[in-house]
Structure 1
Amino acid sequence: MCVTYVQPFGQNKWMEFHRTESVKNNQDPNFVSKVLISYKFEEKQSLLFEIYDTDSKDTDLSTHDFLGTIQTNLGQLVANKRNKLQLKDRAGNLKSSYLVITAEELGLDRDQVILEMSGFKLDKKDFFGKSDPFLEIYKLTDTGNYTLVHKTDVIKDTLTPHWKKFNISVRALCNGDYERDLKFICFDWNSSGDHSLIGEFHTTLKGLLDPNAAFKCINGKKKEKKKDYKDSGEIRVDYINIQATYTFLDYVQGGTEIFCTVAIDFTGSNGNPSKPTSLHFIDPTNMNSYEQAIWSVVSIIEDYDSDKQFAVLGFGAKIPPHGQVSHEFFVNMNPQNPHCFGVRGVLDAYRTCINQVQLYGPTNFAPVINHVAKIAQSHQDGSKYFILLILTDGVITDMPETIQAIILSSSLPISIIIVGIGNAEFDAMEELDADKGGLKYNGIYAARDIVQFVAFNSYHNLDPNIAHLQLAKDVLAEVPKQFMDYMKINGIVPKRRASQTTTPEIENLKIQ
């Protein structure tokens, strides 16, 4: 039996979440019972698995033999899709057994039907004109009733209407059942709201997909009264297409890699690093605000980076060996190998750098944004997506250049996260975070919103155990949408990994 534990958001304790069935007399069990968990990119969703040899139906786990445990998180599981994890004993020693976990998004009929229809030789219903036709589409429910799922636009004074193309999800149209009965009713619109029936017909989504789909519109009352009645016109399918709708996880599990670059403000306004009042003061017992922000965000993103290598840039400092001011330098001072391994490597490089540079200024963002944009320009096929995390304490001094750099980057696979450190006025940052209106410069608009800004001080009054989690949640919450906007605008569909056998959905995942 496998027991799954979760940690509720902001709580440092394990709560039992799920138990599989017991598989008898088997050292290689394949559990039928699945674990359904809501997935959130912006959170570190820790998971603990314990394996037991059950000897009875007793629900008390202490009565069963403990075989091993493993701790991981949901981000790692979904990024790798199939995970072979070596179990440990209670003391943390590795055992010779493994737990294989497959994470899959559950498909929920996300496909869209794009449909365009027209009428031909419909009945004339208006005394002084022709007809004002529109369609109502109904699906048959499991209770035997019909429910309205879509209404077309009204086309005035015509017997050959051509209705506007419309989208509707397969789920909404027919519950994903291509054979489910659909009823189409054609009415003549009246301003009184008492619309006149022209006719109706029945079909299915499968029927609509027929290359020559055309349906006779039948008016039951007219058919009863007139022996020579044939029909009240014809409804034709001019265009139909089933369009796949993808999610963030489709791309991640299809192989899209997410890369994060950290850019740190080393300007003089941060204060002398040797003094406790400085924002860059390194205290062996407590993380400063820069360190907390790095830990909060990078520790989540690293789950989606296969090699966990992060480029860390600095700006606004005088750097060795000649003391020149730089707005784009590698914090580990190694241009040949500028990457740091994991969040701890990023923190180590930052702490070392503090003692190697002289804080100076001004605060220029454009160079680090252009640095990432230059790399992203070579990877616009959906195989890679880039996140730039900028940590700063002050007002931007190159605002026009920064806006231009963001507008250029908005057409590239980039998201920019800005965390304001300290008590400075950050009003200008809100302008860059164009939630209330598109960012523009000299009449040129950004292709999409790619900037998210938060002030670190906003989290100081929160419980310390929750503050860093809430920060990460807020700054990363928009990344999946920004990611998806880029893919949709550029018509990029996710690739399929060789091992992928199911169609994924961001709401739930099954683990086996």
Structure 2
Amino acid sequence: MDYFFEERENLRFDFYDVDSKSPNLSKHDFLGQMFCTLGEIVGSQGSRLEKSIVGIPGKKCGTVIVTAEELGCCRDSVLMQFCANKLDKKDFFGKSDPFLVFHRSNEDGSFTICHKTEVVKNTLNPVWQAFKISVRALCNGDYDRTIKVEVYDWDRDGSHDFIGEFTTSYRELSRGQSQFNVYEVTLLSFLIETEVSFLDYIKGGTQINFTVAIDFTASNGNPSQPTSLHYMNPYQLNAYGMALRAVGEIIQDYDSDKMFPALGFGARLPPDGRVSHEFALNGNPQNPYCHGIDGVMEAYYRSLKCVQLYGPTNFAPVINHVARYAASVKDGSQYFVLLIITDGVISDMAQTKESIVNASKLPMSIIIVGVGPAEFDAMEELDGDVVRISSRGRFAERDIVQFVPFRDYIDRSGNHVLSMARLAKDVLAEIPEQFLSYMRVRGIKPSPAPPPYTPPIHVLQTQI
């Protein structure tokens, strides 16, 4: 099976007692079913999941053990470098600021962004830094699958000017140095490397720890009103709930105890009305953990009923909260993912940049989901995909932030399940590479996987 960390891949196992006399499946005796996700198997200890079979009510139907093993062909990465010559001049003053965007093609003919180069300022003849990307991310292991490369001129306001594009394939790139004449882009080098993967670490026992931080500022609107982004609609999830469930239901498969810290910020708390930017949704600051995503959702709705939405919108306290835990576990046994869901313009930009630069040295990633109609220009700066984030002259060691506006993923037909799947796919796509970049920089190797499961041998004992 193709495995994607960023997607929820549901599996169903049906068990039958085979009637050898009948080729018709309906004639076999049905014994039961087992439901799980591929992530649940991969994320379990040693990538070995043991789960009960559900069958006839009141009857024990046994258990099934499923193990997962990564195929060797998914381990290759490539180190590539490109340059260009005489690109189109897009800026009125000065030359262009070009960068490349790589897309892999999907089975349905659509394209998914898999890499962006850095911006090379003020030149029509850029030489981009060499970059490494997994073959899986580049073409899903299909050497003849189309790879589309777009060339843009970077603009500060995010409205990057399109210069041109070309298509190629892994097989074509692997032939070595070549020139794509249409836009004068040249492949300078192409080196194949086989290395440890994200799944090697997960199988070796590394835990993904998930923390939620929710915006409780007054700009969200009164939760009792249908116009509020926090409106508790009895018939469907609000935008916060959809974002939380979309991301959380995938991440939770990689956390063995399914206990997640859930925080809020920007609210006045009872009984004294003090403003907090780092409060526990369950009301217990000494133990802010909730059981599973359902527990987080329950704590979120409970908080809406007892706190007063206020402000401002400060991110730094919740980032520093998770960073304190990440700083205490740097041996590769744990990795932390913080999900921030917010509706508005950030108030503590300087402090947040400082927090992100500091956190880039730690085993953690930050996902920011913007909900509602606000402009999120500042969030693009935090994302750091095009220009690496910096604070007081220091640049982030790694790109650890992924920002998306939820409105870009809402299905036009009103299918919320599809909206949530689209959101999760995009915001989680960068997590495995961010995880691996930390491990590579620190020289941390995955722990050995547990030995493969062998069924117990039943010895027949007799008396003489």
TM-score, reference length from structure 1: 0.63
Q: Please tell me whether Structure 1 or Structure 2 has the larger radius of gyration of its CA atoms.
A: 1
Deviation of 1:93 after TM superposition, in Å, equals 5.2
Give 1:147-158 correspondences, 5 Å limit. none
Compute the displacement of 1:274 (Å): 1.4
TM-aligned CA distance change 1:70 to 1:461, over 3 Å? closer
C-alpha distance in 1 between matches for 2:25 and 2:195? 43
Aligned residue identity for 1:368: V
Offset from partner CA, 1:436-459 (integer Å, 9 cap, x none):
121112221100100001111112
Does the 8 Å contact 1:68/1:95 carry over to 2? no
Deviation at 1:269, TM superposition (A): 0.3
**Contact 2:380/2:403 (CA < 8 Å) preserved in 1?**
yes
Query: What's 1:475 paired with?
Result: 427
Q: 2:254 aligns with which of 304, 311, 316?
A: 304
SS at match of 2:61: strand
Q: What is the CA–CA distance in structure 2 between the aligned matches of 1:109 and 1:458, rounded to whole Å?
A: 31
Instruction: State the 1:367 CA deviation.
Output: 0.6
Q: Which AA in structure 1 matches 2:333?
A: S
By how many angstroms is 1:487 displaced? 0.5
Change (3 A) 1:407 1:52: same
Alignment correspondent of 1:84: 50
Distance 1:452 1:427 in 2: 14
Aligned length: 339
Q: Which amino acid aligns with 2:52?
A: Q
5+ residue gaps, structure 1? 1-36, 113-166, 170-242, 502-512
Letter aligned with residue 246 of structure 2: S
Alignment of 1:91-490 (within 5 A): 95-108=60-73, 110=75, 245-462=195-412, 463-490=415-442
1:80-106 deviation per Cα after TM superposition (whole angstroms, max 9, x unaligned): 2222222121x5655232222111112
Gaps of 5+ in 2: 78-131, 135-192, 454-464
CA distance in 2 between counterparts of 1:109 and 1:259 reads 25
Q: Structure 1 residues 474 and 59, CA, compared in 2 at 3 Å: closer, same or farther? A: farther
| 1:33-87 deviation per Cα after TM superposition (whole angstroms, max 9, x unaligned) | xxxx111111111100011222237553102121221111111111122222221
1:489 deviation in Å? 0.7
The whole-number CA distance in structure 2 between the counterparts of 1:430 and 1:305 is 29
Matched, 1:72 2:36: yes
| CA deviation after TM superposition for structure 1 residue 107, in Å | 2.4
Q: Deviations over 1:192-218 (max 9, x none)?
A: xxxxxxxxxxxxxxxxxxxxxxxxxxx
CA contact (8 A) 2:31 2:61 kept: no
Q: CA 1:465/1:338 → structure 2, altered by over 3 Å: closer, same or farther? A: closer
Q: Which amino acid aligns with 1:499?
A: P
CA contact (8 A) 1:250 1:494 kept: yes
Per-residue Cα deviation, 1:251-278 (whole angstroms, up to 9, x for no partner): 0110000001100000010011111111
- The residue number in structure 2 matching 1:492 is 444
Q: Contact 2:266 / 2:313 at 8 angstroms: preserved in 1?
A: yes
